Structure 1
């Protein structure tokens, strides 16, 4: 009697789990599909990006809710699911609710901002965009660190479906100087006079702002622009100075080896202060 590949795999799994005294449940190790043949995103899968409407994506992020990471991830995945991408149906299969954990710096821990967490999560599953995927992430992170956010022009406010009346709940935009939620919220609180508990409208608009800029970067990369060559995509001068001694592959004397492009002096005062 002959057996096919699936039957053989089933027998191997059955033997292995019986020997271990455990029950193993799972789908095929050879394809990103379940037993019914439905696509399931697997490690290493890359899906095709196509240019999106930045303002429409920002509006969806603003309207979505569920925390900043969910807003950005859900809006881009949903827009791609409804796009002309050859992988639109695969984007539609992604359960975007998994991104909800990232709100307020990962479940309120104040660590990496959920907007940036979502940026990495989204770009990681995109097929190569003219070799610019990593550069897009870097440029998005530097933008978040150095730009006065959320965007506050009348055009942007109207485009996302907000109102000038709600602007009073935002107070002032601010510069995060970091990719950490803690720094971002603290600097906004200092500028606006509002507390963390009053961040609602500000953070809705912030997620819309990041979704907007991320789409812009992805569209520019898709069009062939060299994102990595942009001055704004590189670490700050201070961070580059730190890297000259605290490198990833070599260091100055007994200096610690460090791998990061994020702002250094927000937390580290340097050696001469």
Structure 2
């Protein structure tokens, strides 16, 4: 049997396509792994959390470079990679350097704080925590908004491996009143009299504080506590008042529909801006 060039090309393409299809089928049988059978985190994968030491995690975050988002994400993932979690090896495979983009409100843009960004990224890959995953995120966000940070007690400073001398570099603790980096740092700058360029020690300690509290919340959720019922995981009274008119499925009159739990009055005063 003879075969012209077009027929030969069609035959080759058919064979190649079949081989490629076989390869795809083979790979899909090992969801979440690469061609060598190594775990590769994929969309929808959920890894098992186990209780961690909050202070040890905070210390690791403080000692880690790469900006606030990387500090928190790297600390939590690394602690879980070295834990008794059934998925410890899978945590160890996660390239935490991907969180480096979040520094200074995403590459210096002053938007969502990297600590908050890291919280969402971390909790997103955790398996069900007694139905409290969303509450952990909400409680962390509200804590960041409403707590005077960073901590400056002798116990916490020693626990993260810092010193009293370095406390002077922080200037003053402050309340962010927002999950946005620029609001957080602006309020700290006003309270401390220092500039953005001098934020180094303050932000390292802030990341340690968030890592510490995030672990506390995760441990409590793991233990079965209903965090969603706590006031600290809900929007402030002011934000809830705003939501009464600016709802997600109904609004008051011509009010715009809004979906957010963050503080409203930090940026919006009444109906004038």
TM over 0.5: yes
Per-residue CA deviation, residues 142-180 of structure 1 (Å, 9 max, x unaligned), is 000000001111100000000000001001000000000
In the superposition, the TM-score normalised over structure 2's length comes to: 0.90
Give, in angstroms, the shift of residue 101 of structure 1: 0.1
Pick closer, same or farther for the CA change 1:230–1:8 going to 2, 3 Å: farther
Distance between the aligned counterparts of 2:144 and 2:207, measured in 1? 11
Distance between the aligned counterparts of 1:125 and 1:253, measured in 2? 40
Q: What are the residue-to-residue correspondences of 1:34-53 with 2, within 5 Å? A: 34-53=34-53
User: Does 1:206 find its partner at 2:206?
Assistant: yes
Match of 2:223 in 1: 223
Pick closer, same or farther for the CA change 1:254–1:61 going to 2, 3 Å: same
Pick closer, same or farther for the CA change 1:256–1:55 going to 2, 3 Å: same
Pick closer, same or farther for the CA change 1:219–1:187 going to 2, 3 Å: same
Match of 1:194 in 2: 194
- Consecutive unaligned residues of structure 2, counting only runs of 5 or more, are 1-15
Match of 2:106 in 1: 106
User: Does 1:122 find its partner at 2:122?
Assistant: yes
Distance between the aligned counterparts of 1:13 and 1:244, measured in 2? 55
Q: What are the residue-to-residue correspondences of 1:1-273 with 2, within 5 Å? A: 10-12=19-21, 28-29=27-28, 31-271=31-271
- The 4+ residue runs of structure 1 with deviation greater than 4 A are 7-10
Pick closer, same or farther for the CA change 1:154–1:10 going to 2, 3 Å: farther
Pick closer, same or farther for the CA change 1:38–1:156 going to 2, 3 Å: same
Give, in angstroms, the shift of residue 28 of structure 1: 3.6
Distance between the aligned counterparts of 2:80 and 2:266, measured in 1? 36
Give, in angstroms, the shift of residue 12 of structure 1: 3.5
Distance between the aligned counterparts of 2:203 and 2:209, measured in 1? 9
Give, in angstroms, the shift of residue 270 of structure 1: 1.1
Pick closer, same or farther for the CA change 1:79–1:241 going to 2, 3 Å: same
Larger of the two Rg values belongs to structure: 2
Pick closer, same or farther for the CA change 1:164–1:47 going to 2, 3 Å: same
2:256 counterpart SS class: coil
Give, in angstroms, the shift of residue 74 of structure 1: 0.1
Distance between the aligned counterparts of 1:10 and 1:185, measured in 2? 56
Distance between the aligned counterparts of 2:39 and 2:17, measured in 1? 22
Give, in angstroms, the shift of residue 248 of structure 1: 0.8
Give, in angstroms, the shift of residue 198 of structure 1: 0.2
1:120 counterpart SS class: helix
Aligned positions, number: 256
Match of 2:4 in 1: none
